[in-house]
């Protein structure tokens, strides 16, 4: 049975071109780029090539890119750098729907005495620019707002917020882990100070990420030790993974608009078909301002976990916002913040596509989903009532 992988916001496959590019640096060229000898030293140029490719994807200068180990490290570094830069200021603004890499780090800082404002979103998952403005005070050192939400795909007005903040002396960081490689980003037009990238969300391997830090932005390293990355991130560079990230960024930059269109076409086909064939279904999140590859759909009266298990029988991989599958004891904090009713959260499924998905794969999901939902609803007391009002269940 072939796998139909529709969980690309969790992680992506490593592009074959990326594997090919990085393999020699796992095998023959294992040197340390800081070494004086040619065997190691030649790798320095490869790291700089990769840095240039990452920079190009977002319209940055290569000196503005720092390699990290993952998106989480990039996020933590950005936040820590801002608060270390102005030790007198103790207020941070973020949102309630950030990834835990930002959310839990801010909660950690709140326990250490920082004041953190967690901004709400509306029932479409949108953030109000007015709320951001109202939250700012004399003590605000950092605003950290994600570019696109990993669960719903909803994008935030990062450019508008950045334009407002650049007039004030407040750091602006955006977690763009889900956006880079999926939608075109030109950092010259978005005056953020820092932006996080993760390799494994754009067909590079796991274990590598990057942080964009705009030239002239005060920066404090988070990982302290050797002189690597010009003293901005210590630790011997993971040359193969960095080369892989560079190649993945080069691939993502080849035809960004074409890829966006392709993903959107497949996603919209899937969404339209499910809305038509499955009753009591809702899309979570503002549909017009979303990543092109993501849809978050709630199927009332069924458990997301049960849907995932049935999909798994067909080799279809997706994920759910219900507690059992989210890896935590609580159901999705994103959908809860949006005020999605609990019954809908429990039956929520996220399909997230990549350039490697095909139309026949989407057709397969469209074919099997109505039957899966119908059968599961027959097993659930509420669903059965709904499907067949003549059958009454013991309450």
Residues recognised as catalytic = 324
| Token pair recorded at residue 120 | 């709400």
Work out whether 140 is an interface residue with ligand PLP (CB under 6 A).
no
Comparing every residue's Cβ against ligand PLP, the nearest one is 71
Which helix (DSSP H) or strand (DSSP E) does residue 372 occupy?
A: helix 359-379
**Contact by Cβ (8 Å): 366, 182:** no
172 φ/ψ angles, rounded to the nearest 5 degrees: -125, 115
Residues 14, 18, 66, 70: which binds ligand PLP (CB under 6 A)?
70
What gap in Å lies between CA 148 and CA 151, rounded to an integer?
A: 9
Dihedral sign computed on CA atoms, order 197, 198, 204, 208: positive
Three-class secondary structure of residue 66 per DSSP? strand
121 contacts 75 by C-beta, under 8 angstroms:
no
Say whether residue 101 binds ligand PLP (CB under 6 A).
Answer: yes
Query: Which region, judged by CB under 6 A, interacts with ligand PLP, from 55-63, 106-114, 172-180, 290-298?
Result: 172-180
Closest CB to ligand PLP among residues 200, 346: 200
Contacts of 57 (CB under 8 A, 6+ apart): 180, 181, 185, 249, 250, 252, 253
Candidate ranges 77-85, 170-178, 231-239, 248-256; the one touching ligand PLP (CB under 6 A): 170-178
Q: Does 198 bind ligand PLP (CB under 6 A)?
A: yes
CA-nearest of 319, 317, 233, 383 to 2 is 317
Which range in 67-75, 119-127, 157-165, 333-341 contacts ligand PLP by CB under 6 A? 67-75
313-352 binders of ligand PLP (CB under 6 A): none
- Tell me how far, at minimum, the Cβ of 294 lies from ligand PLP, in Å: 11
Select the residue interacting with ligand PLP from 175, 250, 259, 300 (CB under 6 A): 175
177 binds ligand PLP (CB under 6 A): yes
Judging by DSSP bridges, how do beta strands 91-95 and 140-144 pair with one another? Answer: parallel
Q: Is 99 in the site for ligand PLP (CB under 6 A)?
A: yes
Q: How far apart are CB 323 and ligand PLP at their closest, in Å?
A: 18
Residue 381 C-beta: closest distance to ligand PLP, Å:
35
Output 71 or 304, the one with its CB closest to ligand PLP.
71
Q: Nearer to ligand PLP by C-beta: 71 or 181? A: 71
Question: Does 285 help bind ligand PLP (rule: CB under 6 A)?
Answer: no
Angle of helix 38-58 versus helix 239-252 axis, rounded to 10: 30
* Of positions 8, 21, 50, 72, contacts ligand PLP by CB under 6 A: 72
Selected range binding ligand PLP among 77-85, 173-181, 226-234, 357-365, rule: CB under 6 A: 173-181
Q: Shortest CA distance to 350 belongs to which of 316, 321, 314?
A: 321
The Cα–Cα gap between 202 and 4 comes to 18
Site for ligand PLP contains 209 (CB under 6 A): yes
Half-sphere exposure at residue 262, Cβ-oriented, CA atoms within 13 angstroms: 13
Which of 99/310 has CB closer to ligand PLP?
99
CA 144 – CA 175 distance, rounded (Å) = 7
Query: Which DSSP letter does residue 91 get?
Result: E
Considering only residues 146, 251, 291, 307, which one is a binding residue for ligand PLP as defined by CB under 6 A?
Answer: 146
Residues 6+ apart with CB under 8 A from 324: 303, 304, 305
Residue 174: in which H helix or E strand, if any?
strand 171-175
Contact between 71 and ligand PLP by CB under 6 A: the answer reads: yes
Stretch that binds ligand PLP, among 109-117, 134-142, 162-170, 174-182 (CB under 6 A): 174-182
Closest CB to ligand PLP among residues 73, 300:
73
Query: What are the residues binding ligand PLP (CB under 6 A)?
Result: 70-72, 75, 99, 101, 146, 150, 175, 177-178, 198, 200, 209
């Amino acid at each position: 049975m072939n796998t139909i992988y529709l969980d690309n916001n969790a992680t992506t496959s490593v592009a074959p071109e990326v594997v090919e590019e990085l393999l020699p640096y796992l095998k023959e060229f294992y040197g340390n780029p800081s070494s004086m000898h040619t065997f190691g030293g030649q790798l320095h140029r490869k790291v700089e090539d990769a840095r240039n490719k990452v920079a190009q994807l977002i319209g940055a200068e290569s000196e503005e890119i720092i390699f990290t180990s993952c998106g989480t490290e990039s996020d933590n570094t950005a936040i820590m750098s801002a608060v270390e830069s102005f030790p007198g200021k103790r207020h941070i603004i973020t949102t309630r729907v950030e990834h835990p890499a930002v959310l839990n780090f801010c909660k950690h800082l709140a326990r250490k005495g920082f004041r953190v404002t967690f901004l709400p979103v509306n029932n479409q998952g949108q953030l109000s620019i007015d709320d951001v403005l109202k939250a700012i005070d004399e003590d605000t050192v950092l605003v950290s707002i994600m570019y696109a939400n990993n669960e719903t795909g909803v994008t935030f007005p990062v450019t508008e917020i950045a334009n407002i903040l650049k007039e004030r002396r407040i750091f602006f960081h955006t977690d763009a882990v889900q956006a880079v490689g999926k939608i075109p980003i030109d950092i010259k037009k978005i005056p953020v100070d820092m932006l996080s990238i993760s390799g494994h969300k754009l067909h590079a391997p796991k274990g590598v990420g990057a942080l964009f830090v705009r030239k002239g932005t005060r920066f404090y390293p988070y990982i302290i030790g050797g002189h690597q990355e010009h003293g901005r991130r210590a630790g011997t560079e993971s040359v193969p993974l960095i080369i892989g990230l560079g190649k993945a960024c080069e691939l993502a930059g080849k035809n960004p608009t074409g890829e966006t269109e392709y993903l959107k076409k497949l996603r919209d086909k899937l969404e339209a078909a499910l809305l038509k064939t499955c009753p009591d279904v809702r899309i979570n999140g503002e549909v017009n301002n979303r990543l092109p590859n993501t849809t978050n759909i709630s199927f009332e009266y069924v458990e997301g976990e049960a849907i995932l298990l049935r999909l798994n029988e067909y080799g279809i991989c997706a994920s759910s916002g219900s507690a059992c599958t989210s890896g935590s004891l609580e159901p999705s904090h994103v959908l809860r913040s949006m005020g999605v009713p609990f019954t809908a959260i429990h039956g929520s499924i996220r399909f997230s596509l990549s350039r490697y998905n095909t139309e026949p794969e989407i057709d397969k999901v469209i074919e099997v989903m109505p039957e899966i939902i119908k059968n599961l609803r027959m097993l659930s007391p509420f669903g059965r009532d709904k499907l067949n009002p003549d059958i009454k269940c013991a309450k």
